[in-house]
Amino acid sequence: MSQAIVIAAGLPSADTETRLAIALARGISRALADQGYGTLVEFSLNNGRRADVIGLDGAGRFIIIEIKTSDADFRADRKWPEYREHCDLFYFAVPVGFPQTILPPDCGLMVADAYAAAVIRESEEIPMNGSRRRAQVLRFGLVASERLQRLADPRL
């Protein structure tokens, strides 16, 4: 979990939607780990966007999960199509009770909580551009290593 998410989780002033998004990211990461993915939260893409959860599997495939906590959260966000060229699979993840009919039917869908996530609708697999994949695999590894090192030595 990124330092920003850990800090937000401990803040009494963190709003309800932020706390819910943090909880969903945990459940999604657990579910993806069970499927063989290594995951990172709040991963910056080379287009300046930030993926809520990104996973990399042993075959080098990327999955991006965009968390939406409410219908207002979804309606206010028009940047999500920009994530698609940075993954092979794209999903929205929502909490139980979210109005799922407002989500685009051509995207994957998960329902999540703090402990797990269930796939409701599979994502179509659209392979990434090869050079973008290579660059992103390298960045994913470096970011993961940096975050792990910060845990081992908070001074960094």
Domain locations in the chain as residue ranges: 3-151
CA atoms within 13 A on the CB side of 18: 12
Residues 6+ away with beta carbon under 8 Å from 117? 24, 27, 28, 30, 31, 32, 93, 110, 111
Question: How much is the average pLDDT of 52-66?
Answer: 98
Amino acid in the structure at residue 87: C
Taking the CA atoms of residue 54, residue 56, residue 57 and residue 62 in that order, the dihedral angle to the nearest 10 degrees is: 80
* Average pLDDT score over the chain: 91
- Residue 2 has φ and ψ, to the nearest 5°, of -70, 160
Which pLDDT band, with edges at 50, 70 and 90, does 6 fall under? very low
> Model pTM?
0.88
